[in-house]
Amino acid sequence: MVRGNLLATIMKTIVVLTGAGISAESGISTFRDNNGLWRQYRFEEVASPEAWAREPELVMDFYNMRRKQLLAVKPNAAHFALEELEKKFRVRIITQNVDDLHERSGSSDILHLHGELRKARSTADKDLVYDISGWELKLGDFCEKGSQLRPHIVWFGETVPNIMVAAGIVRKADIIIIIGTSLKVYPAAGLLQYAPSSAPKYLIDPEATPEYQVRNLQIFREKACIGVPKLVKELLISAVQTHQSP
Ligand code: APR
């Protein structure tokens, strides 16, 4: 067995569930904070199949505005710390975020639950997905089958295609880290029920409240850019000590 595979078998697996809070310090709005997106927009008007059928221009503008903002921001210290974690652990990121900041910070194993802002999907064939070059997707942009392209986003009321894949990943976690999510939107918020009760769990969120019905949970009431690098440093040190001990 080559060294790489050997390392992969003895490396512990850390599953990281992220939400909008990990991207907040990059300048991307969260949804439910005081200045969050759902304070500025009604999601029924910009993020649902009914909205798309009723007023597609408004929906397109909502995602074009967010895509334009995404192109102007960068990953932050929390994103880069998760990439650093890959030195000693198998890190599997399950994100509710539609931004590409985990990708741009170098993480290698990312599962998007709610879609990807920089991609478009055919309205005739959900398997036809395309990268959007630049920030704008327009009415009149068609797929190869001649149907209108839509944002590659899971809207309210639509099923989350990757949820059972995500549950399978959480089931096999040795360690779980939850960063910057209000855990208010299901089925994503229900993923924690699949976590092994024995697995150490860490939650990083400045507004975290102790109401989570989760065993073996340590809460860091800090912003991601402070809490994530701190936790990553601790985990990397513990990994070195574990491998050094006879
Ligand atoms: N660092 C860490 N956490 C933060 C920070 C920060 N700097 N700033 C805010 N937070 C926390 C908030 O306290 C809150 O708990 O991030 C969380 C953001 O919660 P939401 O705005 O509800 O975002 P999220 O949980 O990702 O929403 C889930 O809801 O609207 C849908 O599809 C959308 O994926 C989204 C889903």
Nearest protein CA to atom 35 of ligand 1, as residue? 96
Confirm whether 1-27+76-114+159-246 and 29-72+120-153 share one CATH topology.
no
Q: Is 114 a catalytic residue?
A: yes
Best CA proximity match to 106, nearest among 127, 86, 90, 128:
86
Helix (H, G, I), strand (E, B) or coil at 43: helix
The amino acid occupying position 39 is R
pLDDT in tens, 193-244: 999 999 999 999 999 987 777 889 999 999 999 999 999 999 999 998 876 6
Compute the distance from residue 18 Cα to the ligand 1 centre, in Å: 8
Over its C-alpha atoms, the chain yields an Rg (Å, rounded) of: 19
**C-alpha distances in Å from residue 232, one per residue of 77, 83, 109, 225, 226:** 11, 10, 17, 11, 10
Compute the distance from residue 140 Cα to the ligand 1 centre, in Å: 33
Architecture in CATH of 1-27+76-114+159-246: 3-Layer(aba) Sandwich (3.40)
pLDDT in tens, 11-33: 999 999 999 999 999 999 999 99
pLDDT in tens, 162-187: 999 999 999 999 999 999 999 999 99
pTM of the predicted protein model = 0.95
Compute the distance from residue 34 Cα to the ligand 1 centre, in Å: 11
Helix (H, G, I), strand (E, B) or coil at 18: strand
Which tokens sit at 121?
A: 């999907």
Half-sphere exposure of 222 (CA within 13 A, CB side): 13
Boundaries of every domain in the chain = 1-27+76-114+159-246, 29-72+120-153
Q: Is the CB of residue 31 below 6 angstroms from any atom belonging to ligand 1? A: yes
Tell me if the domain spanning 29-72+120-153 has CATH number 3.30.1600.10: yes
Best CA proximity match to 14, nearest among 138, 179, 181:
179
CA separation for the pair 43, 114 (Å, rounded): 14
